[in-house]
Every structure is written in C-alpha cells, then in structure tokens.
Amino acid sequence: METNMQQAPLPARAWSGLSIGRAQWAPWARRIIFFGGLFLTWEMIARAGIWPEYLFPAPSVVIGALANGIGKGLYLTAAWVSLQRIAVGYAISLAIGVALGLLIGRVRALNETLGSLVLGLQALPSVCWLPLAILWMGLSERAIIFVVVMGALFSITLGVEAGVKNTPPQYVKAARVLGARGLALYTEVVLPAALPAILSGLKQGWTFAWRSLMAGELLFYTLSLGNLLQTGRDLNDAAQVMAVMLMIIIVGVTIDQTVFAPLERRVRARWGLNM
C-alpha cells in the first residue's frame, strides 16, 4: 500500500506544476485584452467628439492627468492617506460586522429587531452620518473613520447574516451532536460553513467602505482621494475626476485580485465548490 500511495504523486506533481503555470497566464492575458479593449473603445468614443472633452475626456487625457498628479506626488500621498483610513475603517467594520452578522443570523429575536434596524440604517447615505461624526468624534481622523465604519459595517453585517442564515442545517446538527456548543459552534461551524457566502459580503463591504470614505473625507480638507475627487468636481475638471475614479478602480481591482479573488478561489477549492 505504501508503494501504491507513492506511485501516483510523482508524475502528477510535474503535471500540476505545468497546469498551474498555464492557468496563471491565461487570466492575465484575458484581463489585459479586456481592459485594453475597454480603453480603446473609450478613447475612440471620446475622439469621435460626440461629447465635449471637458465632460467626457479620452483615457489618454485622463491618464495624462493621473501621471501628472502622480508625478507631483499629490495622488500617491492622497491615495496613501485614504488607504490608511479605509484599512482602519474596514478592519473595524469587519470585526463588528462579523460578530453582529453572526448574532443576527442565528438568534431569531435579534434578527427580527436588530436585523431590520440594520437594513434600515444601511439605506442611509453617508451624508447622514457627517453631523454625528463631527459631534461624536470631533474634527479628526476618527470622524472620517466613523463615517467609513457606518458605511461598511451594515453591509458586512448583512453579508455575514445571509451567509450564516443559509448554512446547511445539517452541518450545525452534526456539530451539535459532536458536542459543539456556544461560541465554538459559531466559530468552528457556522462561520466556516458560511465562509464562501460571507466572503462576498466582505467584498461588498470593502467597496462600500470606499464610497463612505469619499463622503467622509469631505468633512474637512485634507489631502486625500475624496478631496481630490471633490476638487475635480468643483473645478469641473473631468479629467481629474476620472483620474481619481481610475485610481479607485485600480486599487479596487488590485485588492480584489490580490486579496479577495485568491481567498475566494482557495475557499471554493477547499469547500469543493469548483466545477
């Protein structure tokens, strides 16, 4: 049996090495073609002159603005400031949101009360939180982070709640008869069983953290993406607005590709969800 077990792995490993190599390049090629095509189309539409350039600039103009902003060091500093805020805000939302989502998803009385409230609160635009942020946190970083948390928290909560609610009951039953109780039941069964679904909630939460950050950064002037965006808009500088949009999209796609997508892929492979 020992020999039987060892016989197979050798050729297969070489094989899997190959196929991973292949699998890693194809997506990037696709991505490059896709985004390249997108930019090309955009450029062509912009050049066709259907819309005035000051409203619908070509990507070359936008990238020029971006390069200029980055060259002056402004955009990178701004992005760095914003990234720090979003990191902190997202981390806080994550911690509270996961706990809250677990509770709401599994405790029926909480679901009926707090759950509805969360859904209501989530519908509130970030601008509603600005006065309270100033009132409770003062004119400080904390106020901005508060706005980020208010924007992302409920989204994460709802995502976790949904994941947890849709946990196949069979797993919970199995865990209960095996002696899992209280917290362990949540952390060792409900949470991992729901992880594929929860991950999508976290992804949504991440994007809403961005949205709220852009609103929160308008509380007062600091060099940040939110203010660059607003300044661009105030000056009717479509190129700057789009450059900031591009930065948000690039950061978003990068985070997706380096954090969420691999995580999701691994989780799904492990959970046997790939077809």
- Residues 230-269 close enough to bind a second copy by CB under 8 A: 230, 233, 238, 241, 245, 248-253, 256-257, 260-261, 264, 268
* Residue that the structure tokens 């005035």 belong to: 52
Question: Quick check: 197 binds a second copy (CB under 8 A)?
Answer: yes
- Report the run of H or E that residue 58 belongs to, with start and end: none
**Helix 261-270, helix 191-216: angle, nearest 10:** 170
Enter the tokens of residue 70: 């980055």
Q: Min. distance of Cβ 236 from other proteins in angstroms?
A: 5
| Contact partner, 47, from other proteins, a second copy, none, Cβ < 5-8 Å per class | none
Q: Please calculate the CA angle 10-14-20 and round it to the nearest 5 degrees.
A: 140
Choose which of 68, 204, 222, 231 interacts with a second copy (CB under 8 A).
Answer: 204
Instruction: Find which of a second copy, other proteins, none residue 79 binds, CB within 5 to 8 Å per kind.
Output: none
As a whole number of angstroms, the distance between CA 38 and CA 27 comes to 16
- Per-residue contact string for residues 155-194; x = within reach of a second copy by CB under 8 A: x--xx-xxx-xxxxx--xx---------------------
Q: Does 184 bind other proteins (CB under 8 A)?
A: yes
Cα-Cα-Cα-Cα dihedral sign, residues 73, 258, 203, 103: negative
**Closest to 160 (Cα-Cα) out of 124, 182, 191, 120:** 191
The answer to whether 93 contacts other proteins (rule: CB under 8 A) is: no
Please state the closest distance from residue 245 (CB atom) to a second copy, in A. 5
> Would you give the end-to-end CA distance of the chain in angstroms?
30
H helix or E strand, kind and range, residue 134? helix 129-137
**162 interacts with other proteins by CB under 8 A:** no
Number of residues binding to a second copy, judged by CB under 8 A: 80
Contacts to a second copy from residues 127-146, by CB under 8 A: 127-128, 130-132, 135
CA distance 186 to 182: 7
CA–CA separation, 37 vs 267, rounded Å? 31
Question: Pattern of binders to other proteins over 112-151, x per CB under 8 A?
Answer: ------------------xx--xx--xxx-----------
Among other proteins, a second copy, none, the one that 155 touches (CB under a kind-dependent 5 to 8 A) is a second copy
Binding to other proteins (CB under 8 A) within 29-88 occurs at 51-52, 54-55, 74, 78
SS3 247: helix
CA distance 189 to 180: 8
| Chosen from a second copy, other proteins, none, partner binding at 180 (C-beta under 5 to 8 Å by type) | other proteins
Q: Do the beta carbons of residue 134 and residue 206 sit within 8 Å? A: no
From the list a second copy, other proteins, none, pick the one residue 203 interacts with, judged by a Cβ distance below 5 to 8 Å according to partner type. a second copy
